[in-house]
Structure 1
C-alpha cells in the first residue's frame, strides 16, 4: 500500500521543517505555524519562501535559547518586557536575520544592565548618562542610540510612554576624515585584481 503524491509531499515537508504544520485561516488561506513544547510562532503562507525560512529559524532559535524562559517572566512595563515585545513586533521580525542578530547584540547588553527598570520613568538625563558611558567609542554610542530610539518608539506605540526621550539626544561626532575618494589608478588596480 503506497502513499499518495500529496502524502509524500507532506511527509517530506515535516522532515524538512520539523514542528511546522499547516492550517486554514478564517479566509480559507493555508498558513503555516511552528509549534514545539508549548511555544508557537506564525511562519506565513508561502511554504519554503525566504521569509518562511527566516521565521522558522527565528522560532527554532528562540525555543532553544537558554534565556527564552527568563524573557517570559519579565515584569510588565520594564525594559526587559519592552525588549521582548519589540523582538516579537512586525518591525523587528521583518528585518533580515543578520540585522536582527546585530541589533540583539546591542539591545541584549542594554537589557542585561537596565532590564528591571521601568520604561515609563526613563528621562533624558538617564539616556545621556547611558550614552556618556560609551564616550570612548562614539560608533558604539551611536548604534546604541539608534536601537534605543527604536525601543522607545515601540514603547510609545504600546502607550507605555507619551514621548521618546532618546530623540532629544544628538549623535556623537566621529573622529577622522573618513575614506578618501579613489583615484582612477586605484580603481583600475582594483578591477585588475578582481
Structure 2
C-alpha cells in the first residue's frame, strides 16, 4: 500500500527520467528535497507544520550603533508587537526600505537636517513622505526610550520645517 505524501510536497519525474521532489509552501519558494527522504517517511512531520523544515530567514550582520541595529530590536519591542499584523507589515516595509538605503549610518549622527533632506527627496509623493516621517518618529522614540539617543530628531525637524507664521499660531494656541 502506497503512503500519502506529506502536504505541500510535489513529486514528479523530469524529462531526463530523474525523480524530483519539492517542498512548496504557499508564499514561499520551492525547496528541493531528496526523494529518498520522502519515501522513507522521514519527512512525515511536514504535514503537521513542523517548523524545522521551513526556510530560515536571511540573517544580515549589522554594525553596533547603526540605524539597522535600532530597527531590529524595535521590531521585537512591545510597542511594535502590540500593532495589528497588517499594520506591522506596512510599518516594517517603510522601515526596511529606509534600512536598505541608510542602514549602515550611525543612529547617533542622524540630525534634523538629514531627516528634512530625506523628506524633501520624497516631495513628489507627499503621503509617502508623511508616512515615512511618522514611522521614523516612532523608531526614534524607541531609540530614546532604549537609551540609544538623547533626543528625537524627527520632532525637531518637523518644528523647523513649519513656516514662521504656523509656528507663531501654534505657540499662541498652546498658551491659550
Compute the TM-score of the two structures, normalised by the length of structure 2: 0.59
Q: Which runs of 5+ in 1 are unaligned?
A: 1-13, 20-35, 38-59, 174-194
Per the alignment, residue 18 of structure 1 pairs with 50
Structure 2: unaligned runs, 5 residues or longer: 1-45, 163-176
For residues 119 and 101 of structure 1, what CA distance do their matches in structure 2 show? 23
Larger relative contact order, structure 1 or 2 (CA cutoff 8 Å, min sep 6):
2
Within-5 A mapping of 1:143-154? 143-154=131-142
Matched, 1:82 2:56: no
| C-alpha RMSD of matched pairs (Å) | 2.5
| TM norm structure 1 | 0.54
Shift in Å, 1:15: 6.8
Which of 152, 158, 168 in structure 2 is aligned with 1:170?
A: 158
Q: Once the 2 structures are TM-superposed, how far is the Cα of residue 17 of structure 1 from its aligned partner?
A: 5.5
Partner of 2:57: 65
Aligned to 1:100: 88
Say which of 70, 91, 112 aligns to 1:124: 112
Max Rg structure: 2
- Alpha-carbon distance between aligned partners in 2 of 1:135 and 1:65, rounded to the nearest angstrom: 34
CA separation in 2, counterparts of 1:159 and 1:98?
28
The total of aligned residue pairs comes to 116
